[in-house]
Amino acid sequence: MNTLKKIGLTALGTSLVAGSAYAGEITASGDAGYTWSSEEVGVRTDEGYGYNHDITFSGSGELDNGFTVSTTMILIEDTGISSSNVTLGMGGLGSIAIGNGLANVGGAFDDVTPRAYEENHDGMKTTTAIDSLGALSDGNSVMYSSPSFDLGGGSVSFMLGYSPEAGDAATGEGGVAAQSASYGSATTAGINVSFAGLSAGAFGEEVENDRGESARERNAMTASWYANYSFGPVSVGYQTGGLDYGKATATGGTSTPATSAKTIAAATGNFEFEKMSIAFNVNENLSLSWGELEETYDEQSNVASGTEIADVEMSSTSIQFAYTMGSMSIKGYQTDTDNPGWDSNAKSDEVTELAVNFAF
C-alpha cells in the first residue's frame, strides 16, 4: 500500500511539472567591425584605429497561459555587460521588465530624432543632458510597457518605471541595491503617439532627495518631449527638454565660472537641450543626415558679489552617412562641438569617424 502511494505521488508530481513546462530557445547574434577616428582640438590632432563588437544572447519561451518570458544579455568590446534583463510578456496586458542597461523608461527617449548613424554626443568627452534621460533610475528598476491602443486611426502607448533606490548600479539575483548618498526612490513615465507619418512623445523623471532639507538639495528631475515627421524618403525631427539633479547651489563667494568645464553629475545648476535633425534615404542602401544639438547650462548661483554667472551653450553639428550591402555596412560622421564641457574658454572639438561593420 505504501508503495502504491509513493508511485501515485511520483506520478502526480511529474504531471504538475510537465503541465508548467514551456518550450524555449537560446539564440546568439551580433556584429563586429573596425573603426578609424580622428579628433582635432585646436592645433592638436589625434588619430587611431579601433574595433567594435556586440554579441547578444537571447532566450525566450511561452507559458501555458500564453504569457512569454524572455531574457537578453549584451556583451561589448571589453567583454563587459552593457545590458541584461528579463521581460515577462503578458499579451494584451503589456510587459514587465527588470534589469540594467535599459536606462529605465528614459532609454526610449534618449535622442530619438532621425539620424543615419550615431547620436550627436557620440565621440564627445562630456556626457550630455539629452543622453542622461533616466540615468538615475537605470540600475535596479522595474519597468511596465503597455500595448499599443488604437486612437482615431493612430496609436498610443505608455511606459511606467520605478526604482526603490535611484542609481546606475545593477543588482543581480537576490541582490539589494545599495543606498544612495543623495537620492531615494525614482519614478519615471513616458508616452508615445503616432498618426500617419507623425510620431510624438513625452518623458518625465523625478528622483527623491534623500539628504534632508539641511543639505539644501531638491528632488532631481528630467523631462523631454519630441516630434518626428516622415514624408516619403525624408524624416525631420525636433526634441527639447531639461535636466536638474537638484544639487545645492552656492549662496556666497563660490561658484563655477563660465570658463570652467562642468559635468552632469556634479554641476549645481540645470541643463536645457534642443535638438533638430533631418534624414534622407537616397535609396534602400544609402542614407544621409544632419543634426544640430544645443545644450545650455544655467549656473543658478547667487554669489556674494552679486555677479550673475553667464549661461554657457555647448553646441554641436553632425553630418552622417550610412551605406549597407547585405550584412556589411559602411558608416561615418563628422561632428563639430563648440564650448565642449560647457566651458566658454575651451577649444572647439571636431571628431571624424569611419566604421565598417559586419552583422552575423
Check whether 289 has a pLDDT greater than 90: yes
Check whether 6 has a pLDDT greater than 90: no
Of 137-141, 148-152, 198-202, where does mean pLDDT reach its minimum?
137-141
What CA–CA distance (Å, rounded) separates 313 from 300? 14
Bridge partners (DSSP) listed for residue 359: 31
Supply the pLDDT for residue 230.
Answer: 96
Residue 120 is part of which domain span? 30-359
What CA–CA distance (Å, rounded) separates 117 from 33? 15
Q: 6 lies in a domain?
A: no
Arithmetic mean of pLDDT, 262-270: 84
Check whether 253 has a pLDDT greater than 70: no
Q: 4 lies in a domain?
A: no
CATH number of the CATH domain containing 258:
2.40.160.10
Supply the pLDDT for residue 205.
Answer: 93
What CA–CA distance (Å, rounded) separates 155 from 14? 45
CB distance 86 to 79 below 8 Å: no
Highest-pLDDT range among 14-23, 27-36, 48-57, 228-237: 228-237
- Quick one: cell of 110? 534618449
Question: What residues have CB less than 8 Å from 249, skipping those under 6 apart?
Answer: 216, 268, 269, 299, 300, 301, 302
Arithmetic mean of pLDDT, 141-160: 92
Q: Which CA distances in Å does 55 have to 60, 75, 98, 297?
A: 17, 5, 20, 37
Arithmetic mean of pLDDT, 277-299: 95
Q: 5 lies in a domain?
A: no
pTM of the complete model: 0.84
Tell me how far the alpha carbon of residue 123 is from its chain's centroid: 16
* Residue-wise pLDDT tens digits, 94-119: 999 988 777 788 889 999 999 999 99
Higher pLDDT, 202 or 43: 202
Of 206-215, 291-300, 310-319, where does mean pLDDT reach its minimum?
206-215
Of 63-77, 311-325, 345-359, where does mean pLDDT reach its minimum?
63-77
Q: 11 lies in a domain?
A: no
Q: 155 lies in a domain?
A: yes
* Residue-wise pLDDT tens digits, 215-246: 567 888 999 999 999 999 999 999 999 999 88
Of 123-127, 171-175, 331-335, 351-355, where does mean pLDDT reach its minimum?
171-175
The H or E element that residue 17 is part of is: helix 2-20
Q: 315 lies in a domain?
A: yes
Q: 304 lies in a domain?
A: yes
Check whether 252 has a pLDDT greater than 70: no
- Quick one: cell of 174? 537576490
Percent of the chain with pLDDT over 70: 81
Q: 13 lies in a domain?
A: no
Supply the pLDDT for residue 284.
Answer: 94
Number of domains in the chain: 1
What CA–CA distance (Å, rounded) separates 16 from 3? 20
